[in-house]
Structure 1
Amino acid sequence: MAYRSLFRVPGAGFFPLGFLARLPYATSSLATLVLVHAASGSYAFAGLAAAAQGSANALGAPIAGALADRHGHRLVGTVTALTNAVALTGLVAASRTGRASMIVAASLAGLTQPPVGPLVRVHWSRLLHARARPDLIPTALSYEATADEISFVAGPAIVGLLTSLGPTAPTMAAVALLVLATLPFALSLAPGGAEHRPAPGAPRTPLPRLPLAAMFLAMAAMGTVFGAVQTGVTAYADDSGQPGSAGLLYAVFGIGSALAGAACAWLPARFTPSGRYVTFAATLLLGTITLVAGDRLHAVPAAMAVAGVTVAPYLISLYALTERLAPADRATVALTILCAGGPLGTATGQVVAGHLADSHGSAGAFLVAPIAATAALLLAVAVFLTDTDALRPAVRVAVGSGTPESGGMGRAKGRTGDGDER
């Protein structure tokens, strides 16, 4: 069994700690909304603060990724965990002052957010290559996508439960998790990654800009789907007279995605990464069309379950392709650039879907999702047809040596020309 083999590699304690380490990210946006709304009495201002936090995170994550590639995952993970704990504590303090200080504090909280997802995905790739098990990389990516989805189901539920203790409780719980889970998890990562650094004075390997920009836009499209679905579910629940059901409906969406992500570990090797990218972009479009149809047929819960299944496979294909495109010494910054598209797309989806929900209800909000998914599919087809080479695995040259290594991460100065890895 692929997962059984994977679980033996880092040790059992790595998995629960890694799951807890990502919960602050899964709770931060909603926790900020709850805290700032309680302090200001305004949903509009609370949304502005959450948007400032998300935008700052999109800016800060690539910076943290670049620093991690230069100075090691352990150091950057540790520093960001501690600074983010301080920033969130500052947000709680700012909630007792003025609006300007709350915006600044929310922005600092987003800017210092530890990039747990990119760090752990690169850690997996390096660890599995070092253990001579690169065949387990797809399984590791499937596991990480599943853990992400479960965290985004559990995160809002945790915030909801803790809010009953007071508006500051969710944010302070995130601080506790940063210190008790994210920090120890960061300390468990490889310390320096010296084998992936360029020699002193050597130029850094350039990032593949156009393919990476395509992956960023693909993630932004996925984020737009998320924002539209969140808004559509909220509008649907309000229109149904059961506003409290929005969280449960979105949980159904997340559970479906988590199950599909776990199943991706058993996809056959002959189903190539480029083929998966285009195929799962197409299934994502079908899933979002199901949401629109489900709204019209008053079957949104069933539609959410079906649509959720199409999410994680698409996300895994984006992570896998980005991991393969990135040079070995710049893998973390490449993944953080990819991830930065998510919050920007989510904010876009929420704004557009929110305007449509005001005038057309949940049907208008849900309609944004297939539009974004159509853009994602067109982008996937365009990348596949115009630059198929960008989707191929490269021969990775270890920095500081002339030894080529076949495998997932990195693009060499030359190409193998063999097509997709099988």
Structure 2
Amino acid sequence: MSQHHPATLIRATGPSYFPIALVARLPYAMMVVGVLTLVVSGRDSLAFGGLSSAMVGLGAACFGPLLGAAADRFGQRPVLLVAGLASTTALGLMAWVVYSPLPGAAVLAVAFLVGATAPQIAPMSRSRLVEIIAARISPARRERTFDATMAYESAADEMVFIVGPFLVGVLGTALDPWAPVAAAAVVTLVFVSAFAVHPSATAVRSARGTAVETAPAAELARPALVVVIAGILGVGLFFGSMLTSLTAFMGDHGNAEGAGLVYGVMGIGSAAFALGVALFPASFTLRARWLVFAGVLVAGTAVLPFVGSVAQMSLLLLVVGVGVGPTMVTQYSLGALRSPVGRSATVMTMLGSAVIVGQASASVLTGTLADRFGTGAALVVPVVAATLVLLAGVANWVLSPAPAQSPSTRMVTPPLANAGTSA
């Protein structure tokens, strides 16, 4: 490992890294909603649209962690180049098959393919940055840089998961229902390829040498890691149920298309507080953060079924956002710190896939409830999702030994080298 340490992460990665990584993750956030919009328009069935977007989630869940494992094994560059090409093809196929005379089964198969080939940019970026911090940033700056990076990455995720559905709405309304899926295909081809060939993809391997120690796969099933995956699945369930129940709520108020805009309000509080996590004192431990902000999430969502106007809903979502952002940052930080040696990309893709699975399955469930029992019933689902996040936080508190929680001691060694400790 080189003894020369760049002063900042931006110097270590190069200035082009962050803009490319940000845009490259947009298609992932557009896929579920884009497929839903496309299928509802092309096949004229909300239920079938929901089923199709659930297939996207299922594809991502089955193959996302495998892409992560492949990246840990062969490096990110070849895996992302192949996935990017496959994803572009699958999205193009999706735009065509919906309007083709082929049966519904063909649409579902292609939707599964869209999820299965989705390039896992956000988890790959986290994994790449965590390893660069461990290899290239001076030990004195490592802990602060790690906190700030996890905060930024989660804020970036928040942003694209709100901007993505919003873009789908704009493109679908202004141009055509197939436009968002076509746009996602183009962005994938250009930006995922750019992310794959970026010099930072190989910087990690050359920094730590070619002999990469890899922990046994069984270590991925440790309770301390499983509880983080359960918690972030709850956040995904919250995203899906919130957007779907909000769409029903806005429909009741005569403006279903405006759901994306109102949903965006939640992103303001969420992203602001996600970035603010880097400023929290070390004494405010990760296990405590999870409980505090999940508590805010539960308190906010508990009011949802009683909201009467769009203005009240916007105000409430601003508050709810305060709970979402820091919870995600905390979960990703714990995931990074608990990753078994050499399995960082695998763990990050497992967390990313859990968000998508939650989003897709909650969308289907919430949509069904809204159709059968009305908006009131649909607005209860985000409360259940938030409660799941809090319960996982309680389990995490029990599984996290207090002394090892102090962030000031956790980054003395590279984060992936001390993964055996319970952070």
Aligned counterpart for 2:245 among listed residues 228, 232, 238: 232
Find the partner of 2:56 among 48, 53, 57.
53
SS at match of 1:206: helix
In the alignment, the residues of structure 2 paired with residue 244 and residue 274 of structure 1 have an alpha-carbon distance, to the nearest angstrom, of 38
396, 399, 409: which one aligns with 2:416: 409
Aligned to 2:205: 193
- Cα distance, 1:368–1:38 mapped onto 2, change above 3 Å: closer
Counterparts of residues 177-256 of structure 1 (less than 5 Å): 177-188=187-198, 189-191=200-202, 193=205, 195=208, 206-256=219-269
* Partner residue, 2:109: 104
**How many angstroms does 1:387 deviate by?**
4.6
Distance (Å, rounded) in 2 between the aligned partners of 1:201 and 1:117 = 22
Is 2:179 the counterpart of 1:174? no
Q: Which of 279, 282, 287 is 1:266 aligned to?
A: 279
Tell me the amino acid that sits aligned with residue 359 of structure 2: T
Give the structure 2 partner of residue 122 of structure 1. Answer: 127
Quick check: 1:90 aligned with 2:93? yes
For 2:279 and 2:381, how far apart are their aligned partners in 1?
Answer: 32
What whole-Å deviation, never above 9, does each CA across 1:148-202 have from its counterpart, x for those lacking one? 1221222223222322322322111111111111110121142373738766999
Distance of 1:360 and 1:388 partners within structure 2:
44
Correspondence for 1:165 among 172, 175, 178:
175
Match of 1:400 in 2: none
- Aligned residue for 2:151? 142
User: Aligned-pair distance for 1:70?
Assistant: 0.5
Q: Report the 3-state secondary structure (helix = DSSP H, G, I; strand = E; otherwise coil) of the residue aligned with 1:309.
A: helix
Aligned length, in residue pairs: 405
- Post-superposition offset of 1:52: 0.6
Equivalent in 317, 326, 345 of residue 358 of structure 2: 345
TM-score by length of 1: 0.87
- Mean CA deviation greater in 359-368 or 103-112: 359-368
Aligned to 2:163: 154
Return the alpha-carbon distance in structure 1 between the equivalents of residues 383 and 249 of structure 2. 17
2: CA distance between counterparts of 1:393 and 1:204?
Answer: 27
Are residues 390 and 369 of structure 1, via their aligned partners in 2, closer, same or farther at CA, if it must alter by over 3 Å?
farther
Amino acid of the residue matched to residue 74 of structure 1? R
Mean alpha-carbon deviation: is it higher for 376-385 or for 168-177? Answer: 376-385
2:3 paired residue number: none
Report the Cα distance in structure 1 between the residues aligned to 2:400 and 2:91, rounded to whole angstroms: 43
Conservation of the 8 A alpha-carbon contact between 2:215 and 2:342: no
> Quick check: 1:326 aligned with 2:326?
no
CA separation of 1:48/1:128 partners in 2, compared to 1, >3 Å: closer, same or farther?
A: same
TM-score normalised per structure 2 = 0.87
Deviates more, 1:280-289 or 1:61-70: 280-289
Asked if the contact 2:305–2:376 (Cα under 8 Å) also holds between the matched residues in 1, the reply is yes
Paired residues of 2:271 and 2:325 also in contact (CA < 8 A): yes
**Structure 2: gaps (5+ residues):** 1-6
Bigger mean CA offset, 344-353 vs 127-136? 344-353
In structure 1, the gaps of 5 or more residues are: 397-403
Task: Give, in whole Å, the separation in 2 of the partners of 1:105 and 1:358.
Answer: 26
Does the 8 Å CA contact 2:152/2:275 hold for their aligned counterparts?
yes
Aligned residues of 1:146 and 1:261 also touching (Cα < 8 A): yes
AA partner of residue 416 (structure 2): M
User: How many Å apart are 1:372 and its aligned residue?
Assistant: 2.1
Q: Which whole-Å CA distance do the structure 2 matches of 1:357 and 1:41 have between them? A: 18
Identity of paired residues, percent?
Answer: 32
One-letter amino acid of the counterpart of residue 237, structure 1: M
CA contact (8 A) 2:65 2:346 kept: yes
CA distance in 1, matches of 2:187, 2:117: 15
* 1:364 counterpart = 2:377: yes
Which structure ranks higher in relative contact order (CA pairs < 8 Å, sequence separation ≥ 6)?
2
| Mapped partners of 2:326, 2:74: distance in 1 | 32
Report if aligned partners of 1:208, 1:326 keep a CA contact under 8 Å in 2. Answer: no
Contact in 2 for aligned 1:326/1:411 (Cα 8 Å): no
Once residues 244 and 320 of structure 1 are traced to their aligned partners in structure 2, the CA distance between those partners, rounded to angstroms, is 35
